[in-house]
Amino acid sequence: MVGLVVTVALVGTAVVVPPLLDWQVWPRVHIEDGTFPPLHGFPQVKLGIGTIPAVLLAAASVRWADPVAMRLPWRRLLLVAYAVGLVWLPSLALVDGAEGISGVLGSPSEYLGTARSVDDVGGLLREYVARIPYDAPDGNWPVHIAGHPPGMVLFFVLLVKLGLGGDLAAGLVVTVIAATLPLAVMTTLRVLGSEHRARAAAPYLVLTPSAVFLAVSADAVMAVTAAWGMCCLALGCRVGPRRGWPWAVVAGLLLGYLVMMSYGLPLVGVLALAVLWLGSGRRWGWGRGWWVQGWWVLPVAAVSALGVVLVFAAGGFVWWEAYPVLVDRYWDGLASQRPGSYWTWGNLAALAISAGPLVGAGIGATWAARRRLDDRAVVVLVAAALIMVVLADASQMSRAEVERIWLPFIPWLTLGCALLPERWRRPGLALQLATVLLVEHLLHTSW
């Protein structure tokens, strides 16, 4: 209960303080239509074609999601979870009509416009760093391309080459990919020996309030890449080096490419170490038997990940040279006008809205379960997610606009909801669903 109260109070304070104290937390360029801090958006009451299916699915889920998650055979549960996600995500997006799926990715600040103009990938990589600064002689990149390594824009270049580069087509592809996110997290937890908790977490993972942003944000692709990378790490640990090395290689490739998608996502290394620790029988170090215990996955995955980074470097994009340039652009732009005295904790309020208020209660339940050996996997994964969030927030490189940036971390925080007492489960899910429906129908969100 304490965690829930603190979370609700944090969100309420973040919403009320700026207008109450006339505190300008957004640069003036953002305020033509009004704002709704801590979210990047403004109040707007709306109904749309997605309203009815979203409400019906929410009502049905409160009644049946929990028993279905606990009773279905595992593979059938994964199929049902994916099918529900494929209804839930677009239903929320379609509250805004077709624009709800196509509008964000079609924005001039996003990746698609640049991806459509790319004829030479090698040339893109070679000029990438030079066009990050605002005063780049050949013109600077739009904000999202400049703010991220080239991995994400190359994903959209691939969609364009496959004939899926339209705004709506790309949005549908992102939605189909985003719906796999709960499956990756659930499977990771099951492989780490906690199937019961994976089942208990399923309704909260599939019907997450972050679905408002998952269906329309390129950050959803990053979240999925991170989650399947963790799943492959866990699988490698479970089956051992003889049969598990392909899983370790794939994990490294996914996580290496993840670093090429976002400058902030090397932080998932914290989560990777947590997965390896759990997968190795919770043993640290390189003592006798470490190879069999699961730590053998670390060097194999690390070499694979480094290979991805070096391939990009050979092509012309050197991550460690680009990051300082990005930092300079960040502070030359609007970030310097966003007060850290608000956004250091306002960021966390945005996280709470995106993840749903029940996540605060889940964190409290995780703390209460810290000594229960049967729940060690959930406790460690939630703790790793908290560490990543704290590090990201402390970096001051994510002032505002973070409801989408938190997407790779939110599912792992959400696992704490699986530890809530039985009496919390149905009302807790109802609270999460009410949150997402209110955010979608009362706010215009830009991500």
CA dihedral 54, 432, 187, 87 (to 10 degrees): 0
pLDDT exceeds cutoff 90 at 236: yes
pTM of the full structure: 0.94
- Reported confidence tier of residue 240, pLDDT bands at 50, 70, 90: confident
- Residue 80 has a pLDDT of 97
pLDDT in tens, 65-92: 999 999 999 999 999 999 999 999 999 9
3-state secondary structure 232-281: HHHHHHHHCHHHHHHHHHHHHHHHHHHHCCCCCHHHHHHHHHHHHHHHCC
How many whole angstroms separate alpha carbon 348 and alpha carbon 403? 9
How many whole angstroms separate alpha carbon 261 and alpha carbon 282? 30
Contacts of residues 160-168 at CB distance under 8 Å and 24 or more positions apart, as own/partner, are: 160/112, 160/115, 160/116, 160/118, 165/112, 165/115, 165/116, 166/102, 167/102, 167/103, 167/105, 167/106, 167/112, 168/98, 168/101, 168/102
Q: Which residue intervals of 179-218 are DSSP H helices?
A: 181-191, 195-206, 211-214
| Tokens linked to 1 | 């209960």
Q: What is the mean pLDDT of the chain?
A: 90
| Tokens linked to 129 | 């760093």
pLDDT in tens, 301-346: 999 999 999 999 999 999 999 999 999 888 887 777 788 788 889 9
Query: Quick check: 244 and 231 in contact, CB under 8 A?
Result: no
Cis before 27? omega within 30: no
- Residue 1 has a pLDDT of 77
| Tokens linked to 277 | 């620790």
Query: Quick check: 392 and 266 in contact, CB under 8 A?
Result: no
pLDDT exceeds cutoff 50 at 284: no
DSSP β-bridge partners for residue 333: none
Compare 227 and 338 and report the one with higher pLDDT.
227
- Reported confidence tier of residue 94, pLDDT bands at 50, 70, 90: very high
| Tokens linked to 123 | 């040339």
pLDDT, average across residues 35-55: 89
Using CB atoms within 10 A of its CB, is residue 396 exposed (0-12), middle (13-18) or buried (19+)? middle
- Reported confidence tier of residue 31, pLDDT bands at 50, 70, 90: very low
Q: Which of 324, 327, 329 is nearest to 135 (CA)?
A: 329
Q: Which of 415, 161, 404, 155 is nearest to 275 (CA)?
A: 415
Query: Quick check: 234 and 219 in contact, CB under 8 A?
Result: no
- Residue 24 has a pLDDT of 77
pLDDT, average across residues 139-152: 90
Compare 42 and 5 and report the one with higher pLDDT.
5
Using CB atoms within 10 A of its CB, is residue 372 exposed (0-12), middle (13-18) or buried (19+)? exposed
Which range (27-41, 171-185, 254-268, 316-330) has the least confidence?
27-41
Compare 100 and 176 and report the one with higher pLDDT.
176
Instruction: Give Cα separations from 154 to 131, 148, 151 (angstroms).
Output: 16, 11, 5
Which range (134-138, 151-155, 171-175) has the least confidence?
134-138
- Residue 374 has a pLDDT of 86
- Residue 70 has a pLDDT of 94
